Structure 1
Amino acid sequence: MNAGLERNEAVVRKRSGSTKASRQKSVFLFIAIAPSLLGYLLFTLYPNLLSVYYSLLDWDGLTESKFVGFDNFVHMVGDRFVWRALYHNLLFMLVVPALIVLISLILAYLLNNKSYRENPFYKVLYFFTNVLSTVVIALLWAFIYDGSYGLLNGILGIFGADMNGFYWLGDSRTAFWALVVPMVWGGVGLYVVIFINAMSAIPKSLYEAAVLEGARPMTMLFRITIPLIRSVIRVCVVFVVLGTIKGFELILILTNGGPEGSTDVIGLYMFNLAFGKDYHNYGYASAIGMFLFVILVAAKFIIDKYYPEENVEF
């Protein structure tokens, strides 16, 4: 009987110790995630929920607000500037991510599979653009595109093309495509590094077998490398697409949506409505922000549907 009591006491002590350890673990986890959770609630979730409320107001951000319900959304449907900006967003979304991912894949493949002595230098060189701030990149390309002393016109002049002071960012025919180049140039470096790390995990024996079968470098890239790092490419595509849709800093500095609105995008239009010099409508800008959020969610669902996540083992 005493033995039975001792066993029961041992079980109780074991359970008590387990409960105490579990409680300590929960407290530790709460303390560990509390700063990040608080930051997310305070600086991400709360402002977003507040924007939903602001979208129902007629408010300039300073004076007394007026509740207008869904009038801002009704007005947005008939606002041609919103749809023009959305068209530019979609065009950027189709062109920029495709170029960034394709160029990054090719460069990463060359650096990972070719034993160039200068490989470490090339890696630093490609990643250097991500060290630069958006303002620096914008000023650099503003100089390149300048009509009077720009580098691009100077190079074209060497080959006999007299541009006659043509300003690439000041013409509605060229401004949009002139913005694509710095967007791609500034985004390639990060993804080159990501793809190099992913490719370095692929067994070299697969490439050696392909070489013995007579496969060419581009064949190995599209038949071996890309299928095996498909999940990494998918994540990069999501980041690039969503970043292209919501980003507008480079456009703000280089063209501010001009000339004649030929480079305006949703994020920039929203920013100018809320904080522009001549017009302040924080409520309407918040409604456009909600529209931008819907676009981002829709883009994510489209990517998930047509580019599903796959786990590859090798």
Structure 2
Amino acid sequence: MTETQEQQAATAATATAAPQPGRIALWVLAAAAVLSLAGVVYSLYRLTGMADGLDDTGVMILANSLFSPIIVTVFAGAVAGVAAGRLRKGPAPALALLGALVLGLAAGAAAYVSFSADADIALAVGLVMLGSALVGGLFAMPRRAVTVVAGLCATLLLLAFMFGRGFYEAASSVSLFSDPLDEYGALGTAIPFIAGIACGVCAFLYLRHKQAGVKLLGHLLAGALPGAVWLVATVVAQVGVEVVLGIGLDEVAPLDQAFLALSFQWQYNGSMTAMFAGALCAVLAYGFLLPKPAQSRAARSS
């Protein structure tokens, strides 16, 4: 009986000593989520720039630009879910959804106010933002919060890659490719793979710094999370674009349909490439760079 009690006490001590996400990481993620979410909503409003309502061109611009606020809202919803679990004690899944719900309501209200001149479109965009935040809250449900935070730090790096690429394309008119389709194929393959590797390294370094004792599966999930966020955001964006176009336009031009199809194809291919590269890189780093336990080395030597 005494040995059983001692084992239970040791197990409880190990559980309480399990590493938790640091406050600095949570503050950085929270600040990045709020600032980026406010920035993309404001940029989307300024991009359309029609205070009296959206014409057909404005609706198409809105549809083409909807992916950025959606992926940022998914990221922010996941951050809010993790933060809610640290602020209050209770069931992790319920707190994650509660935090994502609060953020989603705020984001949806901001989007609705921004496009209130068109009530139907404003409601559709607001509901899409709310749904994106709730989807992001699902990523915060795992009990091992340190693994989720590692993946979110890597997701923040992925968003920085996306912002950098968009800023470069907007600021530079010089291209290394003579054919736009060649540029599409090269960038659509290389950039997500490079970003995925960087995300996998970022997730691994965070887990190693925290000395979290996360096993192979945890490293795989943390490295794959940025690509998974990208993939889920693409699915939500495709649904949202169809809803916005169905409300705002009677008919979509064939050229616009082809552009949207090509854009979503790039998003799907890029997200799966980043997810694979991130997971593979994190797993390889776990296998090659982490020191082997002394007990296993002694067992092999004997």
Same fold, TM exceeding 0.5? no
TM-score (norm 2): 0.36
> Structure 1 or 2: larger helix share?
2
State which structure, 1 or 2, has the greater radius of gyration over its C-alpha atoms: 1
TM-score (norm 1): 0.35
